[in-house]
Amino acid sequence: MIGLSRRLALVLLLSFAGTAAALDYPTRAVKWIVPYPPGGSTDVLARMMSQWFSQKMGQSFVIENKAGGGNNIGVEFVVKSPPDGYTMLLVNPANGINTTLYKNLPFDFIRDIAPVAGLVRAPNVMEVNNAFPARTVAEFIAYCKANPGKINMASSGSGTSVHLSGELFKSMTGCDMLHVPFKGAGPALVELMSGQVHVIFDNLPSSAPHLKGGRIRALAVTSAEREPSLPGVPTVAETVPGYEATAWFGIGMPRGTPAEIIEKINAETNRALADPQMQARLAQLGGRPIPGTPQDFGKVIAAETAKWAKVVVSSGAKVE
């Protein structure tokens, strides 16, 4: 009986110790893994939010770019990290897409990554280099069909929302374009501006500065409704009925991370998304906040995984 009491006391003591550690969290720097190179939407958003976390939570939130493997290298690093709250993942559309696109992943994203908080949802933008002759989606489709196989379609990597948004466009219009994957949006946009590739369906946050600077030209946004930050730019669906694709971003941690830590990051994220100055900065990038509970973000991940599974299968998209 005494032995049982001691064991119970030890369990309670460890439980209280874990809760106390979570309440003190963070006590050292937190690594935030961005599975792409600097310059893309995931990187832009993570750096914006990391400044907020660092200022409000009293410890540095340090961005580490771990690109490669179509996003999977960074994810695997987080999956194998200790579930202690000191490694976060910038969750993005590729995490839902890759579940179907890759056949032998060394992890199960929904099983191995705990949803923490949603950040923003943003449209992709169908954009071309300034020398491209088409000025509208209809003109683009006509040019594409008159020049089959001669249009290079860039993406930020195989399996990204940028890639699959293009594949969806191809399947719905019959356009024959060559997919040219890059290791992130930054390198892809450089090649688009130089004229080495012709079109990209890029996330708005990474393209916004180049669009506003006139270095590339928007033909349409991929969301169901027009984007307020791009007045006058139509939707793809106005020419291709039923077309819709948006990018979504959030925070994940290794499965098994204490609930108290997840709730703490979730609460601070929601405070950031409710801040007028942060909302204004996100609006400039075309991002619309998606606050909520960890469970709410888990539902987003599940729904997007199911949606893009259908696109991967119907389009016949392959990993190059």
Q: DSSP letters along the chain, please?
A: -HHHHHHHHHHHHHHHHHHHHHHH--SS-EEEEESS-TTSHHHHHHHHHHHHHHHHHSS-EEEEE---GGGHHHHHHHHTS-SSSSEEEEE-HHHHHHHHH-SS-SS-HHHHEEEEEEEEEEEEEEEEETT-S--SHHHHHHHHHHSTT-EEEEESSTTSHHHHHHHHHHHHH---EEEEE-SSHHHHHHHHHHTSS-EEEEEHHHHHHHHHTTSEEEEEESSSS--TTSTT--BGGGTSTT---EEEEEEEEETT--HHHHHHHHHHHHHHHH-HHHHHHHHHTT-EE----HHHHHHHHHHHHHHHHHHHHHHT----
CA 51 vs CA 32, 46, 56, 278: distances in Å: 12, 9, 9, 11
Q: At 72, give phi and psi (nearest 5°).
A: -75, -25
In this prediction, residue 15 carries a pLDDT of 47
In this prediction, residue 195 carries a pLDDT of 94
Alpha-carbon distance of 34 to 52, in angstroms, equals 17
Query: Which residue segments constitute the domains of the chain, with CATH numbers given?
Result: 2-122+247-315 (3.40.190.150), 123-238 (3.40.190.10)
In this prediction, residue 23 carries a pLDDT of 74
Alpha-carbon distance of 145 to 291, in angstroms, equals 42
In this prediction, residue 20 carries a pLDDT of 52
Q: At 252, give phi and psi (nearest 5°).
A: -130, 165
Alpha-carbon distance of 37 to 165, in angstroms, equals 20
Do 197 and 120 touch, CB atoms closer than 8 A?
no
- Provide the residue type at 237 as one letter: A
In this prediction, residue 10 carries a pLDDT of 54
CB atoms within 10 A of CB 131: 8
In this prediction, residue 14 carries a pLDDT of 47
In this prediction, residue 315 carries a pLDDT of 75
pTM of the model: 0.79
Q: What is the mean pLDDT of each run of 10 residues along the chain (320 residues)?
A: 55 49 88 90 90 97 93 96 98 92 93 97 94 97 96 89 92 94 90 96 89 96 91 96 92 98 98 96 86 98 92 77
In this prediction, residue 81 carries a pLDDT of 98
